[in-house]
Structure 1
Amino acid sequence: MRPISTIAAVAAAALALSAGSARADITTFTHEAAYLAAVGNTGVDNYNDLIQQMYYDEVPRQAGEYSYSVSAGPKAPALWAGTSDFVDFWLSSQNRTDTTTFVLQGGVAGAGGNFFGSDAYSHPTSAASLLLTATDSTGATVSFTLENPDVNSFVGFVSSADLVSLTVTAGQQPGVWSSIDNFHVSVAAVPEPHTWGMLAGGLALLGYASRRRRKLS
Structure 2
Amino acid sequence: MKTSFARLALVATLAAAGAAHAASIVSPTATFAPSILVDFDAYDGLQVAAGSPELLNGNAFFVSDVVSTLGANNQDLGGNGLWGARSDLTPTGSGNFVSSTGPVLFGFLLSGPQAQVGAYFNLSQPLEGAKDAMLTLTAYSAANQVLESFSYKVDTSWESYNEGMFLGFSRANADIYSFGVTVSAGQSLVLDNLHLSAAPVPEPASIALLAAGLAVVGGVARRRARRD
In structure 2, the CA distance between the partners of 1:118 and 1:34, relative to structure 1 (3 Å rule), is closer
Question: In structure 2, what is the equivalent of residue 61 of structure 1?
Answer: 56
Give the counterpart letter for 2:189 in structure 1. S
Contact 1:136 1:159 in 2 (8 A): no
1:128 corresponds to 2:133:
yes
TM-score by length of 2: 0.63
Question: In structure 2, what is the equivalent of residue 177 of structure 1?
Answer: 188
- Secondary structure of 1:101's partner? strand
The structural deviation recorded for 1:111 is: 0.7
- Secondary structure of 2:6's partner? helix
In structure 2, the CA distance between the partners of 1:165 and 1:72, relative to structure 1 (3 Å rule), is same
Aligned length: 175
| Greater strand proportion | 1
Contact 1:129 1:149 in 2 (8 A): no
- Secondary structure of 2:190's partner? strand
Question: In structure 2, what is the equivalent of residue 8 of structure 1?
Answer: 4
| Greater helix proportion | 1
Q: Which runs of 5+ in 1 are unaligned?
A: 120-125, 206-217
Q: Which runs of 5+ in 2 are unaligned?
A: 75-83, 87-94, 126-130, 157-162, 221-228
Q: CA RMSD in A?
A: 3.3
Cα distance in structure 2, aligned partners of 1:50 and 1:127: 31
The structural deviation recorded for 1:21 is: 4.9
Cα distance in structure 2, aligned partners of 1:149 and 1:166: 22
Question: In structure 2, what is the equivalent of residue 156 of structure 1?
Answer: 168
**Identity, % of aligned positions:** 20
Contact 1:46 1:90 in 2 (8 A): yes
Alignment of 1:1-217 (within 5 A): 4=1, 6-23=2-19, 25-31=21-27, 35-36=31-32, 41-56=34-49, 57-62=52-57, 67-73=59-65, 76=66, 78-81=67-70, 82-84=72-74, 85-87=84-86, 88-93=95-100, 96=101, 98-104=102-108, 105-118=111-124, 128-137=133-142, 139=145, 141-150=147-156, 151-161=163-173, 162-172=175-185, 174=186, 176-189=187-200
- Secondary structure of 1:35's partner? coil
Cα distance in structure 1, aligned partners of 2:62 and 2:40: 12
TM-score by length of 1: 0.66
Stretches of 4+ moved more than 3 A in 1? 20-25, 136-140, 189-192
The structural deviation recorded for 1:53 is: 3.2
In structure 2, the CA distance between the partners of 1:9 and 1:147, relative to structure 1 (3 Å rule), is farther
- Secondary structure of 1:188's partner? coil
The structural deviation recorded for 1:190 is: 8.1
Q: Deviations over 1:117-162 (max 9, x none)?
A: 149xxxxxx7632111112458452111111245321112122222
